[in-house]
Structure 1
Amino acid sequence: MVDLVDVFKIVQSYKLRADFKGALARLLEDNVGHVHSRSGKNVTPLSVRTQELRARALCKAFEDFHQGGHAIQSPYRLEAKHVQLLVEIWLAQGQTSSTIDNKLTHLRALAQWIARPGLVTTLADYVDLEKHGWSSPDASGRKMSFSGDGIDAVAVIEDIARTDAHIAAQLKLQAVFDLGVKESFVFRPKDAARCRDFLAIVRGPKGSCLRMVPSEVKLAVLSEAAGLADQYTGTTMRDRLTKQQWCRVYYGVLKKHGITEKGLGVTGQGLKRRFLEQVCGRLPNHSPPLTVADDNTYRDTHHTVEKHPATVEALDRATKESSYFAMQSGPMETRLPMVTHLEMGKALVWNFEDESHQAGAPRISR
């Protein structure tokens, strides 16, 4: 059963007519938890946080519409002219193309709920993008700012690293392991290195896109992040800042380096996508990581890298290092002595008060 946000409480905080609030609240209650995906592959239910953001975005859109001097009797009466007026209102408020595009996504979901799936189209259908200095979609329909085409992402991230190496490492983690921005903040690379299956991850949190990234790339990024991990928290956030504080630092650095549509013309998403294409493109016999259809493409490479010593922990013994990945059974079996039941019985009798001594006598771990 999917947890639902309290939409009635959310709707009450906006300046809308009472009858409009009631209709909108009922519409949200019935649909806000539904996944809105064009591909139809994402079957993961929406989190309560995402439901709340969607509900507030729709409430705010209708509030802006009414405060702009326009009238609409019910959310079921939404028409194309209303969407056009909303976009013009948002433009007058000075909102960016990314913000408006995000709001249109929520309106597109609402259009599906009221059985009008083609009602809300793309931003380019409502605004002259070139006139406002915004990047237009490429031949495949993607916005250039999200694809990162024409950007040397490796050089840009290296430049960011000179300002803050922690943020550069987080950008690489997001690209290689398909983490969200805030997920990369709390990600603990040393703990991930101890997980035997971590390098085998081929899908991001949403599970909608296959990402076969070579394991040597994953290991290099994981090693770099582990070297920057905080001694106490284990994350790559420095100075023990909270997630909210670090979020301000993170976006401040990106803005400083022009990672905006008005700057270099590329967003963080486009930068990460381009970085992954560049890094994987330098390796022989590797196709772009976001377009691989065969799960077994890099199986041999993956098994080879799994045997690589876990340099993330900078340990001095190769036998101990190799146990951090999927080679635990082999090295452990070769270096631990075979102990009989009789020898174990003697160890338990003579060292019954101390587990360490019980294990140490036959030279094995507890």
Structure 2
Amino acid sequence: MAAILNVRAVVRGYRLTPTVSAELILLLDEHVSSVHSRTRISAKPLSIKTQELRVRAICAALVELREGGFALASPWNLRRKHIEWLVQRWVSVKQSGGTIENKLTYLRALADWMNKDNLVGTLDDYADRKENGLVRSYVAEVDRSWEANGVNAHEKIAEIASTCPRTAVQLRLQAAFGLRIEESFMLQPVRAVNDIDMLLEVTRGTKGGRDRVVPIEEKYAVLEAAARLANPLTGSTVPADRTLKQWRNWYYYVLERHGITKSGLGVTSHGLRHQYLQEVYEKWAGVTAPVKQAGKRPDAERHSQAIRRVVEAAGHSRPTKANAYISTFARQERLAKPTPTIDEVRSALEAAAGNKSHAALALGISRQALYRLLDAA
């Protein structure tokens, strides 16, 4: 049976009126675990974590509306003007495009439960992404792997093992098989191994319910270490005396203690997944990933094959998703070009008779980059 969030406990932590709280709880009780996604391929209910994120985002939006002077007597009174106001508020306080998109996704689910299909649009319906700096890039510009940031994964994980062997083994699973953090928590090392085909079946904690298999190759030792720490009740490496949420908090505490943060050593545990997928690309393409900036390119067929392998190993559905881990040769070439000086920009504008598009083309940069250089002058 699917786990369902205690929505009452969450909703009552917000300053909503009794009527709004009661009607929202009725909606959530019926729908909180239901899937609302065009890309999800599994019929599995949402995880407790996602359910809680959904409830908190909806409650916070209703609180913001009340603070903004909109005294909604019921969630059913939600109108387009309220969504427009919320987006403008979020844009004004410089929230990222991704954050706003996520909030709109949660509100779109709420609208769907109330049969208001066209109530919530996309971010593009409310704001100009370029003008407001909300363009979301899905192409890596910097290498987030531990290797690229001077962190030896083997040595650092061994160091972490002295503090918490379970955290260390979960990091080893991420490094060995490209698992997401949640996948490494929930993997059942004994049950997930397909010995016949030498594959690891990743089915728990996956994004969008996309199960996948990953070659085990010569990495049985990692799985054996994880199996020794497996919880006898659940089969995962999360200890029996902690909930998943409690374990997640402990996990991040251990990482911070050992400097595995952006402000510490400049890496996060997700960087291990980047490193694994870059290695997959190199294995099949015969050259390092574009983000490594080595300058070497494979032929088109090998590149396409390597991209397919990366996407399969990552558990994504579209080839372009690989770019988030390995970048593209075009993006890295553009980044390698020196930034034009303001004098060069002015000279290019003068030569182009003030035509910014022509000046940007002559400088080898985008028009948006030209505007940023002019604004900074």
Q: Which amino acid aligns with 1:254?
A: T
What's 1:354 paired with? none
Q: Which amino acid aligns with 1:58?
A: I
Measured at CA, do residues 155 and 29 of structure 1 come closer, stay the same or move farther in structure 2, by a change above 3 Å? same
What's 1:159 paired with? 151
Aligned: 1:244 with 2:244: no
What's 2:296 paired with? none
Q: Aligned equivalents of 1:25 and 1:125: distance in 2? A: 29
The answer to whether the Cα contact below 8 Å between 1:212 and 1:289 also exists between their aligned partners in 2 is no
**Residues 10-51 of structure 1: CA deviation (Å, up to 9, x unaligned):** 333322223222221221122112112212521112344543
Which structure 1 segments of 5+ residues have no match?
Answer: 138-142, 260-266, 294-366
What's 2:103 paired with? 103
What's 1:11 paired with? 11
For residues 23-172 of structure 1, what are the structure 2 equivalents within 5 Å?
23-91=23-91, 95-123=95-123, 125-129=125-129, 136-137=135-136, 143-144=137-138, 148=140, 151=143, 153=145, 155-156=147-148, 159=151, 161=153, 164-165=156-157, 166=160, 170=170
What's 2:261 paired with? 254
The answer to whether the Cα contact below 8 Å between 2:54 and 2:106 also exists between their aligned partners in 1 is yes
Larger deviation, residues 23-32 vs 119-128 = 119-128
The answer to whether the Cα contact below 8 Å between 1:202 and 1:213 also exists between their aligned partners in 2 is yes
Q: Aligned equivalents of 2:209 and 2:183: distance in 1? A: 17
Q: CA deviation at 1:283?
A: 2.0
Aligned: 1:289 with 2:309: yes
Which structure 2 segments of 5+ residues have no match?
Answer: 161-166, 240-245, 285-301, 314-377
Q: Aligned equivalents of 1:53 and 1:94: distance in 2? A: 20
Q: CA deviation at 1:231?
A: 9.0
Q: Aligned equivalents of 1:65 and 1:82: distance in 2? A: 7
Measured at CA, do residues 283 and 154 of structure 1 come closer, stay the same or move farther in structure 2, by a change above 3 Å? farther
**Residues 274-299 of structure 1: CA deviation (Å, up to 9, x unaligned):** 43442112224764335459xxxxxx
Q: Aligned equivalents of 1:175 and 1:162: distance in 2? A: 9
**Residues 55-100 of structure 1: CA deviation (Å, up to 9, x unaligned):** 2321122112212222334323333332232233345556555443
Q: Aligned equivalents of 1:102 and 1:2: distance in 2? A: 23
Q: Aligned equivalents of 1:10 and 1:30: distance in 2? A: 15
Q: Percent identity over the alignment?
A: 32
Q: Aligned equivalents of 1:55 and 1:62: distance in 2? A: 11
Q: Secondary structure in 2 aligned to 1:153?
A: coil
For residues 194-213 of structure 1, what are the structure 2 equivalents within 5 Å?
196=195, 199-205=198-204, 206=206, 208-209=209-210, 211-213=212-214
TM-score (norm 1): 0.55
The answer to whether the Cα contact below 8 Å between 1:188 and 1:236 also exists between their aligned partners in 2 is no
Measured at CA, do residues 118 and 39 of structure 1 come closer, stay the same or move farther in structure 2, by a change above 3 Å? farther
Q: CA deviation at 1:168?
A: 9.2
**Residues 162-201 of structure 1: CA deviation (Å, up to 9, x unaligned):** 8833589856633764644255358697x68988479523
The answer to whether the Cα contact below 8 Å between 2:101 and 2:123 also exists between their aligned partners in 1 is yes
Measured at CA, do residues 81 and 281 of structure 1 come closer, stay the same or move farther in structure 2, by a change above 3 Å? same
**Residues 84-129 of structure 1: CA deviation (Å, up to 9, x unaligned):** 3223334555655544333222112112212234543444554555
Q: CA deviation at 1:247?
A: 0.9
Q: Secondary structure in 2 aligned to 1:106?
A: helix
Measured at CA, do residues 186 and 30 of structure 1 come closer, stay the same or move farther in structure 2, by a change above 3 Å? closer
Measured at CA, do residues 162 and 123 of structure 1 come closer, stay the same or move farther in structure 2, by a change above 3 Å? farther
Measured at CA, do residues 169 and 11 of structure 1 come closer, stay the same or move farther in structure 2, by a change above 3 Å? closer
Larger Rg: 1
TM-score (norm 2): 0.54
Q: Secondary structure in 2 aligned to 1:42?
A: coil
The number of residues matched between the two structures is: 270
**Residues 248-284 of structure 1: CA deviation (Å, up to 9, x unaligned):** 343662313545xxxxxxx976x56643442112224
For residues 326-341 of structure 1, what are the structure 2 equivalents within 5 Å?
none
